[in-house]
Amino acid sequence: MQKTKASPDGLITLILQGIEEVKGIEINLLDLREIENTVCDYFIICNGTSNTHVNAIVNSIQKTVSKGIKDKPWHVEGSENAQWVLMDYVNVVVHVFQKQIREFYDIEGLWGDAKITVVESSFKQ
């Protein structure tokens, strides 16, 4: 599989499409570029309603990104229990949570200096 270098905006768009495709909820985009010493430029955070839903979101993101720009995550962690799956696309890191785990870790609170964009979902919850 040949890698094509995509802009972060293109990658983000594809990731969001993958989340939307399987009805991921409470989607936030955190822009970390103005913060010193961060591990990436963006976090995308969303919820699934169950282990099955979290895995469906992760699979949809991988399929959508692979189809769109022939890229795959550098690393994926947490798929075994599917309560919090981290997908590392180097400049963009995706966190797919179950609601209670997301509330417990409160990544948005930990990265309070980030510019947070709430992504409006195209379906009603």
- In degrees and rounded to multiples of 5, residue 19 shows phi and psi of -65, -45
pLDDT tens across 2-40, in order? Answer: 344 557 789 999 999 999 999 999 999 999 999 998 989
pLDDT tens across 46-94, in order? Answer: 999 999 999 999 999 999 999 999 999 999 999 999 999 999 999 999 9
Q: What is the pLDDT of residue 6?
A: 59
Task: For residue 31, give both structure tokens.
Answer: 């822009």
> What domains, with CATH codes, occur in the chain?
24-119 (3.30.460.10)
Q: Structure pTM?
A: 0.90
DSSP structure class, residue 121: P
Q: What is the pLDDT of residue 123?
A: 59
Residue-wise burial string across 21-34, b where 16 or more C-beta atoms lie within 10 A, e elsewhere? ebbbeebbbbbbee
Q: What is the pLDDT of residue 3?
A: 42
pLDDT band for 124, please (50, 70, 90 cuts): low
Task: For residue 101, give both structure tokens.
Answer: 């785990």
